[in-house]
Amino acid sequence: MKKILAPSLLAGDHSCLKDSLLIVDQDGRNWIHLDIMDGHFVPNLSFGPQTVADLRKHSNIFFDVHLMLDQPQKYIEPFAQAGADLISIHVEPEYDIPDALEKIRSLGKKAGIVLNPDTAVEEVFPYLNDVELVLCMTVNPGFGGQSFIESVLAKVRALVALRSEREESFLIEVDGGVGPEHVPACLDAGVDVFVAGTAYFKGDKEARDEFAASIET
Ligand code: DX5
Ligand code: ZN
């Protein structure tokens, strides 16, 4: 399975997000990760569907949209219309998760399910048949620039084992605090998609290319 580095736009300059998008696009990345926060499920705000729609006009890169929302089902359609390619929703809030996943797929988008560092991996087991991606948070969501929680890789290993047992094909993504120093352990655990915000945007072109090459081999 091809490995993917998905830079997180959250770590770009929010006065000119288009420029950050174009850096990622011109670097040759295939995915960009877009973090949507509501100030309820997580203690921070980011940007909404209008921003995603405006960014969509400037690139065909795969938009990996991570909804950190208390009521994600209300915003699936706006983000689908804005040009999301994949929409991920958290397992923790109270809402009809099967219905929300079905909605994402009925709009022709790929669906992902997300779990926080303290959430047991078993919580996502009922949905594995209905998603293209499982996102294991390696920080408590809300802010970029936090430290990678390495113990989450045990969940990645459990998902890899279950995926092969059930003959499924969902991708496994990690998000939060990921830097070049974590790549070997993540590859060893079986991570497919590496979200990186701070570590990606702080590097010059050479550092970004080197980071990508260590993943996208
Ligand atoms: C955390 C977000 C992450 C964040 C990652 O709430 O979901 O996607 O942007 O940024 P870094 O790599 O800086 O931890
Ligand atoms: Zn994210």
| Per-residue model confidence as pLDDT tens digits over 156-172 | 999 999 999 999 999 99
Return mean pLDDT, the chain: 98
Q: What integer pLDDT is reported at residue 217 of this predicted model?
A: 79
pLDDT of 34-54, one tens digit each?
999 999 999 999 999 999 999
Q: Which of 38, 64, 175, 192 is catalytic?
A: 175
Cβ atoms of 11 and 51 closer than 8 Å: no
The strand pairing partners of 89, in sequence order, are: 67, 113
Question: Helices in 90-204 by DSSP H: which ranges?
Answer: 97-106, 153-166, 183-189, 198-201
Q: Ligand 1 within 6 A of 12 CB? A: no
Those residues with Cβ within 8 angstroms of residue 88's Cβ, 6 or more apart along the chain or in another chain: 64, 65, 66, 67, 111, 112, 113, 114, 133, 135
**Is 25 one of the annotated active-site residues of the chain?**
no
Which pLDDT score is estimated for 153? 99
| pLDDT of res. 133 | 98
Cβ–ligand 1 distance for 178 under 6 Å, the answer yes
Query: What does the pLDDT average to over 74-81?
Result: 98
Q: Tokens at residue 102, please? A: 């079905």
Across the range 42-71, mean pLDDT stands at 98
Give the closest residue to 34 by CA, choosing from 1, 80, 73, 74.
Answer: 80
